Amino acid sequence: MTATKFRILAIVSVVLALGVVKLWASDRVGVYAIVEKVVFEPNEAAPQRVQIWGAFALTDGKSGAGYLPPQRGYLYYTIDPAKPEISRKEWADLKAIAGTGQGIGFGFRYNTNTRVRKETEKVESPDRYPVSMGLVKMGPPHDNAVIIPGLKEALRKR
């Protein structure tokens, strides 16, 4: 192999490696949250819908790790009919975390039909719960220095 071919191969290898690092750095979480309370409907024994109250940062839906500004309010979901047991298990996990101040993430960055509802908004027309990769506790690698303080600040606002 000539020196020129070797240099070209080395440059291509570095460019490809950097591209892989950039893809790996993308955040797949759809919703980051600090949950204050969880309300099951019609009941906790056999929930079909859930209200999740707290502060939320939703994905911007673009490649990378961009999120919309954190908002206080609630999310309202109906069970995912294709994965009802997973939905219920994640809802139970959300209830267990509620009120602890623990930051969590769930859903999928490119498939989240979630909207944050204002605390005064009527509870109606639930979104389908975004079953994806389960709940993710904030901390490395999900320790975005902007999202965590933003969620805490949103909770302080009334």
For the chain, 158 residues long, the average pLDDT of each consecutive 10-residue run is 59 46 57 96 96 94 82 96 95 96 88 88 95 80 69 84
pLDDT of residue 82: 93
Query: Is position 23 within any domain?
Result: no
Structural domain span for residue 68:
31-156
pLDDT at 147: 82
**Which whole-number Å values give the CA distances from 96 to 15, 38, 39, 49, 123, in the listed order?**
44, 9, 12, 17, 22
Half-sphere exposure at residue 1, Cβ-oriented, CA atoms within 13 angstroms: 8
**Amino acid symbol at 35:** V
What's the pLDDT score for residue 7? 61
Is residue 126, in this structure, part of any structural domain at all? yes
Residue with tokens 């605390």: 119
For the chain, strand residue ranges (E) read 31-41, 49-58, 71-78, 103-106, 127-128, 136-137
Whether 133 is covered by a domain: the verdict is yes
Establish if 40 belongs to a structural domain.
Answer: yes
Amino acid 25: pLDDT: 46
- pLDDT score for 19: 42
Looking at the domain assignment, is residue 24 inside a domain? no
Does 15 reside within a domain? no
What does the angle CA 118 – CA 68 – CA 156 come to, to the nearest 5 degrees? Answer: 50
Of 74, 78, 81, 108, nearest in space to 91 by CA: 78
Domain presence at residue 142: yes
Number of domains composing the chain: 1
